[in-house]
A and B are shown apart, each in its own frame.
Chain A
Amino acid sequence: MGHVLSTAIVLLVFWLTLSGRYEQFLVTAGIICSIFIALLAARMNLADKEGHPIHLAISALAYWPWLVWQIILSAINVAKIIINPALPVSPTMTRVKMSQKTDVARVTYANSITLTPGTISVDIEGDDIIVHAITRENAIDLEGGSMDRRCAKFEGSV
């Protein structure tokens, strides 16, 4: 029930932000539609822990700033490689362990790897992610597993 309610609230805020018109009729229609869609989503098993992971909101506040900082550092690093006339790339395929239990945290980890310039998650085999890294150093950094530990902490399993 909590997930249905928060789905409805998120939908309503989304609608109010996009519409920008606050006449009584439109707001009422928005409220009714949000509740209806949230109930529909609950019936389709979409408004649950996986489809609407609102319970992770607080740990996301700790994880995202760290992720943004990592993205800035590695984007500058990749930009330096591009600008360097020698183009010092050493493409490496590697295999990193996922220690997360839930699918949401695994998706977060794989997406974080891809979002960070210099590493792309290519495939998943069991509990491993196959990663393509632009330099050998990037691959070894990722194998060190600090992002993996942060993601496990993010889902609350550590």
Chain B
Amino acid sequence: MSLDLILDIVSWALLLSGGFFCIVGALGLLRMPDSFTRLHAASVIDTLGVGPIILGLMVQSGWTLTTARLGIVLILIFFTSPVAGHAIARAMRHRDVKPILSEDRTGERH
């Protein structure tokens, strides 16, 4: 087995698993009951969707400048997506959007 073939297999496995988790995340966005739980489904796309896809592309491009740039994109997404998710959740709380809860353990009265 040549090295190219192994790299192709690895990168395709990463790309396909990333694509799979993107689809699962999108399905979750449709199935979840309220906005808070939809954020959880979206964060599957942010992490196991985007991560393997970019890693797979990095394997495809080899030791080039493109790989370094993809690495920067990956780091950017890992630092900004939680901030965006938190901003949405915080905005909903401050606007008094009531989440559907099966249990409230914060010790607050609603």
- Whether A136 contacts B69 in the complex (CB less than 8 A), given A78-B44, A111-B82, comes out as no
Q: Which residues of B contact A120 (CB under 8 A)?
A: 36, 39-40, 43, 85-86, 89
Asked if residues A79 and B102 are in contact (CB atoms below 8 Å), the reply is: no
Q: Residue-by-residue, is A52-77 near B (CB-CB < 8 Å gives 1, otherwise 0)? A: 00000000000000000001100110
Q: Are A79 and B72 interface neighbours, CB within 8 A?
A: no
Q: Is A99 an interface residue (CB 8 A)?
A: no
Per a CB cutoff under 8 Å, which of A91, A92, A94, A115 touches B81? Answer: A115
A14, A20, A82, A132 — most chain B CB neighbours (10 Å): A82
Nearest to B83 among chain A residues (CB) is A111
- Asked if B40 and A134 sit within 8 Å, CB to CB, the answer is yes
Encode contact with B along A114-133: 1 for CB under 8 Å, 0 otherwise.
11111111110000001010
- Measured between beta carbons, the chain B residues less than 8 angstroms from A81 are 28
Looking at the assembled complex, report how far the CB atom of A124 sits from the nearest CB atom of chain B, in whole angstroms: 9
Complex contact A75–B48 (CB within 8 A): yes
A71 and B44 CA atoms in complex are apart in Å by 9
Question: If A82-B28, A89-B32, A120-B85 touch, does A114 touch B37 (CB 8 Å cutoff)?
Answer: no
> Does B24 lie within 8 Å of A17, measured CB to CB?
no
Q: Which residues of A contact B36 (CB under 8 A)?
A: 91, 120, 122, 132
21 contacts between A and B (CB under 8 A): A14-B72, A17-B72, A18-B72, A71-B48, A79-B44, A82-B31, A82-B44, A89-B37, A93-B99, A112-B82, A114-B83, A115-B43, A117-B44, A117-B47, A120-B36, A120-B85, A122-B86, A122-B89, A130-B93, A132-B39, A134-B37
Q: Identify the 3 closest CB pairs spanning chains A and B, nearest first.
A: A114-B82, A82-B28, A75-B48
Interface residues of B (CB under 8 A from A): 21, 24-25, 27-28, 31-34, 36-37, 39-41, 43-44, 46-48, 65, 68-69, 72, 78-79, 81-83, 85-86, 89-90, 92-94, 99-107
Residues of A within 8 A of B (CB): 14, 17-18, 20, 71-72, 75-76, 78-79, 81-83, 87, 89-95, 110-112, 114-123, 130, 132, 134, 136, 139, 143
